[in-house]
Homo-oligomer: A and B are copies of this chain.
Amino acid sequence: MSERIIYLPLGGAGEIGMNCYVYGYGEPGKERLIVVDLGVAFPDMDTTPGVDIIFADISWLEKNRSRIEAVFITHAHEDHVGAVGHTFERLGVPIYARAFTANLARHKVAEYGLSEDTIRTASKWPETIKAGPFTVGFLPISHSIPESSALVIDTPQGRLIHTGDFKLDESPVVGEAFDPKLWAEVCAGGIKAMICDSTNVFSPNPGRSESTVGPNIEKLVSEAPNMVVSTTFASNVARVKTLAQAGDRAGRSICLLGRAMRRMIEAAIETGVLTDFPTVIGPEDATQIPRENVMLIVTGSQGERRAASAQLARGKYNGIELKEGDLFLFSSKTIPGNEKDVIRIMNNLSEKGVDVVEDRDGSYHVSGHANGPDLAKLQDIVNPQIVVPMHGEHRHLREHVKLAEGKGRTGVLAVNGMMIDLSGNQPTVAEWIDAGRTYLDGSVQIGAMDGIVRDRIRMALNGHVVVTVILDEDDEPLGEPWCELMGLPETGRSNASLVEVLEEDLSQFLGRAGAKTLTNDDKLEEEMRRITRNSTNNEIGKKPEVTVVISRLS
């Protein structure tokens, strides 16, 4: 059988976040594999209450671990690197990343007690790494975090470009600019397929450079009469630098608040990607100097309840308290789903008399992703035979395919689990793989379809009744059944205690029940559950979750 190139997204294709892509080369079913990115997604109350973190189900990779050559991480955003610690022992292959990314990834594997060698530092293009039939190079591209890289993946059947997340920024403040000349050189020999970021495909205008927000931020900060606080994604080192420089130029001392903010700047300085960062002071020192001479740069732009922004909005944080007339700048965009949390902070700040400035028109924030026209421009530079949109919801992938087809190229709409054979001129679906989600729940990894979280959601919606009954040696009820409520009102329609109503109804049932029922646990449980649900519904208009505990003395 002839050899083939396969592409298999396990996460990120059909969603924003949780990126995980697989490439393979070899005979069908025996392809040697590489993995690109091991990212996470974040839980929410609607679908994943109590879950700590979400990542792609890697069962298929685990089953085929002897075929995996290596993992490559494009950049240090959580949705690309967040799962390296949680998955390393299940895959057990070397992980390659550039220095800044590797610095952060090492902290993640260290939490699992793994050695630093787990993460290998890769140099940028033109250096490459040999991984089985693949040769992989990290080709610099601009994004909202330092050292973001596309991957140049050479196979015996041609060169692939995996863009990673990117924007076309020729003056990105920190890190490498997008270099169209270098890209044109790399792609000059012909590109079989470009697997390309899709998140901003619907944005109709060309993206703006990171450097465009500096003057607006400087003006705002220099005119502020009192303390200035600003929040952005901690990983956006360029923005943090812009903010800090604006503060510095306005004669303010810079104080970084929030663990992630300090860690990120440390990593950037340690690896040499960040230079000329103003001197920072600690929170204690910040309280000792006049408010108008302080600028805080803090975590929590998405409204995270335990981050610095939320804590400053609610009260003191590290001894610092905001006051009437202070200015709070959101140099960020709210990710869909986080609106209520961000708005809560804005209102808490309003209660303190703090003036909030949001980015309403792009003055104080730019996106890190390529917009529609930028995607088109990159296609022109790379000139790939095939375009495979990745990292986007279904609607983004579909629009991106349309864009490629509109330019006369072959576009492939591949979602998580769809293994694509890229070998011929016309890509085909080779196979469907079960692609799901794994939840880190406390310290345990559970499957999204295991029903555990579903049960928690049901308890949240419906409440929980626990029914206990004891049966004696003759299978006769001993005393009355006993009910406990959790998350349900104590009284309902009849104004009697709901527990008493249920116990009475269950007693009556047990009094009437024959030996056939009383000796059969399943039957007894089913009947008691049914009665409990119906009686509760009668009383309070809700059908609760019910756990029946039958204890037999026999």
Residues on A lying within 8 angstroms of B by beta carbon are 14, 44-46, 49-50, 336-337, 339-340, 343, 346-347, 349-351, 353, 356, 393-395, 398, 441-444, 446, 450, 452-453, 455-457, 459-464, 466, 468, 470, 478-479, 482, 484, 486-489, 491-493, 537, 540-542, 545, 547, 549, 551, 553
The answer on a CB contact under 8 Å between B45 and A460 is yes
The residue among A50, A343, A541 with the most chain B CB atoms within 10 A of its own CB is: A50
The answer on a CB contact under 8 Å between B456 and A347 is no
The residue in chain B whose Cβ has the minimal distance to the Cβ of A353 is B398
CA of A44 to CA of B337 in the docked complex: distance in angstroms? 12
Given contacts A456-B459, A466-B549, 11 further A-B contacts (CB under 8 A): A44-B45, A44-B46, A49-B460, A339-B339, A350-B398, A443-B492, A444-B491, A444-B540, A466-B484, A470-B470, A549-B549
The answer on a CB contact under 8 Å between B466 and A395 is no
Which A-B residue pairs are the 8 nearest by beta carbons? Answer: A442-B541, A443-B541, A460-B460, A456-B487, A442-B542, A49-B460, A336-B339, A350-B395
CA of A540 to CA of B487 in the docked complex: distance in angstroms? 24
The answer on a CB contact under 8 Å between A446 and B551 is no
Given A49-B461, A442-B541, A463-B50; A547-B486 close (CB under 8 Å): yes
The residue in chain B whose Cβ has the minimal distance to the Cβ of A492 is B444
Set B44, B450, B551: member contacting A482, Cβ < 8 A: B551
Set B14, B441, B456, B547: member contacting A484, Cβ < 8 A: B547
Which chain B residues border A468 with CB–CB below 8 Å?
A: 468, 549, 551
The residue among A339, A349, A482, A491 with the most chain B CB atoms within 10 A of its own CB is: A339
The answer on a CB contact under 8 Å between A444 and B340 is no
Distance from A474 Cβ to chain B, minimum over Cβ atoms (Å): 15
Which chain B residues border A349 with CB–CB below 8 Å?
A: 395
The answer on a CB contact under 8 Å between B49 and A452 is no
Set B444, B463, B541: member contacting A541, Cβ < 8 A: B444
Which chain B residues border A443 with CB–CB below 8 Å?
A: 492-493, 540-541
Distance from A11 Cβ to chain B, minimum over Cβ atoms (Å): 16
Which chain B residues border A463 with CB–CB below 8 Å?
A: 50, 452, 455-456
Given A45-B46, A444-B541; A336-B347 close (CB under 8 Å): no
Given A46-B340, A460-B456; A394-B549 close (CB under 8 Å): no
The residue among A350, A453, A537 with the most chain B CB atoms within 10 A of its own CB is: A350
The answer on a CB contact under 8 Å between A459 and B487 is yes
The answer on a CB contact under 8 Å between B394 and A547 is no
The answer on a CB contact under 8 Å between B350 and A343 is no
The answer on a CB contact under 8 Å between B547 and A395 is no
Distance from A129 Cβ to chain B, minimum over Cβ atoms (Å): 36
Question: In the complex this chain forms, how many copies of it are found?
Answer: 2
Distance from A528 Cβ to chain B, minimum over Cβ atoms (Å): 14
Given A350-B398, A356-B395, A466-B549; A452-B340 close (CB under 8 Å): no
Set B50, B460, B484: member contacting A542, Cβ < 8 A: B50
Distance from A248 Cβ to chain B, minimum over Cβ atoms (Å): 29
Set B393, B466, B551: member contacting A470, Cβ < 8 A: B551
Set B336, B444, B461, B484: member contacting A343, Cβ < 8 A: B336
The answer on a CB contact under 8 Å between A347 and B393 is yes
Chain A to chain B contacts (Cβ below 8 Å), 10 pairs: A44-B45, A45-B45, A45-B46, A337-B340, A350-B398, A452-B488, A455-B487, A464-B486, A468-B551, A479-B551
The residue in chain B whose Cβ has the minimal distance to the Cβ of A442 is B541
The answer on a CB contact under 8 Å between A350 and B46 is no
CA of A356 to CA of B347 in the docked complex: distance in angstroms? 33
Distance from A452 Cβ to chain B, minimum over Cβ atoms (Å): 6
CA of A356 to CA of B455 in the docked complex: distance in angstroms? 34
The answer on a CB contact under 8 Å between B460 and A346 is no
The residue among A453, A463, A493 with the most chain B CB atoms within 10 A of its own CB is: A463
CA of A340 to CA of B553 in the docked complex: distance in angstroms? 51
The answer on a CB contact under 8 Å between B457 and A545 is no
CA of A484 to CA of B549 in the docked complex: distance in angstroms? 8
Which chain B residues border A488 with CB–CB below 8 Å?
A: 452
The answer on a CB contact under 8 Å between A464 and B461 is no
The residue in chain B whose Cβ has the minimal distance to the Cβ of A462 is B50
CA of A549 to CA of B452 in the docked complex: distance in angstroms? 23
Which chain B residues border A479 with CB–CB below 8 Å?
A: 551
CA of A337 to CA of B346 in the docked complex: distance in angstroms? 15
Which chain B residues border A394 with CB–CB below 8 Å?
A: 347, 350-351
The residue in chain B whose Cβ has the minimal distance to the Cβ of A342 is B336
